[in-house]
Amino acid sequence: MRAGLWKPRTRPHLFEGVGEEGLEWLIDARDETGIPVAIEVANTRHVELALEKGIDVVWIGARTSANPFSVQEIADAMRGVSIPVFVKNPINPDLRLWMGAVERIQYAGIEDIGLIHRGFSFFNTDKYRNSPLWQIPIDMRAEMPDNMMICDISHICGQRSLLTDVAQAAMDLGFDGLMIETHPDPDNAKTDSAQQITPLEYDRLLSSLIIRSESVSVVSEHEEVIDLRNQIDALDEDLVELLGIRMQLAEQIGDIKDQYSIPVLQPARWKTVLEKARINAEKRGLSADFIEELFKAMHQESIHHQLMVMNSRVRTK
């Protein structure tokens, strides 16, 4: 069981948790149920109180993990302690910052370190409270394969109607567990009410999940999977080759632009390319948003190649 006793709020005078008083409630709950308890810690004092009361697990929140000074303070306070520590991803999608927070805890001698993916904050999101950006935790798992990783679906979703789909996505991606907020009366919760569910709804959500437990080795050795992956590998090689050709053409265009003093960026042309790409994507059953992001990346690389051509000519004049 986990509880945020100290809530970091964006603005003052909002409910910031019950604080130290809640430690006794957690200990009583553990004594009654036998379930280990966890709290979030954001400074040395929080760590001291958690250790003094015998809290079983602590985690470092997203706002704290974004600040190396704060993480180091917590790491120093936990030096020599053996309880598990979980580290949430920073609020911004920075893989190295997340890794750095984990490494600071490791260097303090903590061996049992878990990862919590809670999504990433953006100024404007259409669907999620915090965008999942699944590639970041996938990359984190690749960098730190031995660390348990769980998904805080409540903070990703921000609304209970999305929880089941995001929970299933996390399970399908091989997460080791979920962090889910519950409340006996969610609508009247003091904070984050829209993303909380009742214990009954929590039970239904867990019961609905499909847990894919097939061995990785079985899938890897499946003849059809091997054939399909070989085809994908061949296509990936073709894609890289085609991108190389595309950049060569971009360099030729950059040379012409330089000769006639034409700006690198042509907004009208770029808008047409993007609109056409989105239309073609939908015709082929692809996500238009995905194709747009892909084309934006290619466009940035094309600009980079054109600038290299134009700048090299400037240096030789």
CA 95 to chain centre: 9
Residue 217 is predicted with a pLDDT of 62
Would you place residue 161 in the very low, low, confident or very high pLDDT band (cuts 50, 70, 90)? very high
Give the mean pLDDT of 211-230.
76
The answer to whether residue 315 scores a pLDDT higher than 60 is: no
Reading phi first (left if > 0) and then psi (alpha if -120 to 50, else beta), residue 119 is in left
Kindly report the number of other CB atoms within 10 A of residue 72's CB atom. Answer: 16
Q: Following DSSP, what letter does each residue of 236-261 receive, concatenated?
A: HHHHHHHHHHHHHHHHHHHHHHHHTT
Burial (CB count within 10 angstroms: exposed 0-12, middle 13-18, buried 19+), residue 209: middle
pLDDT tens profile 113-130: 999 999 998 776 668 999
Would you place residue 12 in the very low, low, confident or very high pLDDT band (cuts 50, 70, 90)? confident
Bigger pLDDT: 60 vs 226: 60
Three-class secondary structure of residue 17 per DSSP: coil
pTM for this one? 0.81
Domains of the chain: 2-213 (3.20.20.70), 218-316 (1.20.59.10)
State the Cα–Cα distance between residues 160 and 189, nearest whole angstrom. Answer: 13
Burial (CB count within 10 angstroms: exposed 0-12, middle 13-18, buried 19+), residue 216: exposed
Buried b vs exposed e over 93-131: b needs ≥16 C-beta within 10 Å?
bebebbbbbbbbbeebebeebbbbbbbbbeeeeeebbbb
**End-to-end Cα, the chain, rounded Å:** 69
Torsion 223-228-231-236 (CA) sign: negative
Q: Are 246 and 298 in contact (CB under 8 A)?
A: yes
